[in-house]
Amino acid sequence: MFKSKDFTLTNITIGIAVIMYLIQTNISYGSLYLGLNMYFLEGGFLWQPLSSMFAHGGFGHLGMNMFVLYQFGNLIEKYRGKKEFIIVYFIGGLLTSLISFAYIYFLDPQVNLVGASGAICVLMGYIAYFDKFQRKGIITWILIISVAPLLIGLPIAWYSHFIGLALGFLIGVLRK
């Protein structure tokens, strides 16, 4: 049924995200506990920078993010290795969460940040650094997914996308 190539860290991360989403939607106030918000400081919810990478705003949000994670995460694992995926996705994702929290703290304290897109944008920024041919397309795509939803009134953490893109590019510079 499953082949050994199916057990990549990316695919395991996707499985964990699905399980976390099921937990999030089946406990009272799951999004507030697992999302990144002011409870991070005020309530001592220190797990939120990590858990927010696994919490999502709905099944469509989860599905879209996991589709993109599958593509870019497995690409990094295949060409740069599992260790590189862990560094780029998890360390970059945590840094994206912490910097995004600074934005929330100072500019928008009512926000509850959920989703893997900031960490996924780290992966995309990392790939954009190494693949000059894809760079313009990746940057354009992140601009579109960050700005277009705002134009139709959807609440989106556009700043996390841009922070992730920049951090991914920086991680690429540092780890070339």
Phi, psi of 114 (to 5 degrees): -135, 150
Buried b / exposed e across 35-44, counting CB within 10 Å, b at 16+? Answer: bbbbbbeeee
User: Six-digit token pair at 162?
Assistant: 């841009």
Digit-coded pLDDT (tens) for 17-39:
999 999 999 999 999 999 999 99
Half-sphere exposure of 144 (CA within 13 A, CB side): 6
Taken in order of first residue, the domains within the chain and their CATH numbers are: 4-175 (1.20.1540.10)
Higher pLDDT, 50 or 3: 50
Digit-coded pLDDT (tens) for 149-169:
999 999 999 999 999 999 999
Digit-coded pLDDT (tens) for 26-72:
999 999 999 999 999 999 999 999 999 999 999 999 999 999 999 99
Q: What is the pLDDT of residue 6?
A: 73
Confidence of residue 79 (pLDDT cuts 50, 70, 90): very high
Size of the chain in residues: 176
In 3D space, the residue among 174, 74, 67 whose CA is nearest the CA of residue 117 turns out to be 67
